Structures are given as structure tokens and as C-alpha cells.
Amino acid sequence: MLGHTNAIANIAVRDLGRAKNFYIGTLGLSEVEAMGDEVAVLKSGSTLVNVYRSDYAGTNKATTVTWAVGDDIDRLVKELKLKGVTFEHYDMPGTKLDGDVHVFGDLRVAWFTDPDGNILNLINQ
């Protein structure tokens, strides 16, 4: 039914201008469409991300968006750190921390947040 249809991520933010600075300026997404100061449609690879103003921004305590970056994970973590991104460190059973990257066997994951506290991550898949 929906398995052949693209999905769009939706990210709630308090200040759309500040969020656009982060998602476009820091992460390198591009703006496809702006809908005033309420919604920005951004492009990441061949997918879209809706960033929209909401009073509930940053209340999700789980990962909002994952970027599958393959073997580029360590390079991207370093580049994002140079742009001021701070990575989250979680104490999880069965994992070890390699710098800012959590290691689960062959799986490598690095979590960080946007200015509103939305949890984002990079994964080596």
C-alpha cells in the first residue's frame, strides 16, 4: 500500500529562522519551499524534511531523523563538530563509545540535537 511511496520527516521547531540556519547552514540541507515563518520544506538527498513552527518543539525524547551515511560517519562527525555541533553520549548496555560514535558491533551511531532539542543521528548504514 504505502511501501512504494516516499515519506517526509516532520520536525517541530520554536523559531523557524534559527532552525533554518541550523538545517541549511550547519547540516547543508537545501530549501525547496518556504511557507512564511511557519513552514520550510528542505531537501536532504532525494527526500524532503518539513520543518515547522510549533509550541511543542523539542518535546520528543526519541530520535526524530536518521541520516544513513555509510562509511562517512567519522568524517561527518568531525565536520559537524567543527561547525559547533555537540554530540550526545548515552549509557547503553552492550555499547562502547569511540569518540562521539556509539558502537554496537558493526553498527556505528552518533546522536546530536538541533537548537530545539530534537534528537537527530547519523548511522553507518
Residue 105: Cβ within 10 Å count: 7
Same-domain status, 118 and 99: yes
Contacts 24+ apart (CB under 8 A), 37-46: 40/16, 46/6
> Is residue 2 predicted with pLDDT exceeding 90?
no
Domain CATH number, residue 76: 3.10.180.10
Q: What is the tens place of the pLDDT at every residue in 32-65?
A: 999 988 999 999 999 999 999 999 999 999 999 9
Q: What is the total count of domains within the chain? A: 2
Query: Cα dist. 74→11, 28, 69, 99, 117 in Å?
Result: 25, 17, 10, 9, 22
Show the domain range for 82. 62-125
Answer yes or no: do 50 and 86 share one domain: no
Sheet of strand 30-35: strand arrangement: 9-13, 47-53, 39-44, 30-35
Which DSSP letter does residue 82 get? Answer: H
pLDDT tens-digit readout, 57-115 = 999 999 999 999 999 999 999 999 999 999 999 999 999 999 999 999 999 999 999 99
pTM, two decimal places: 0.93
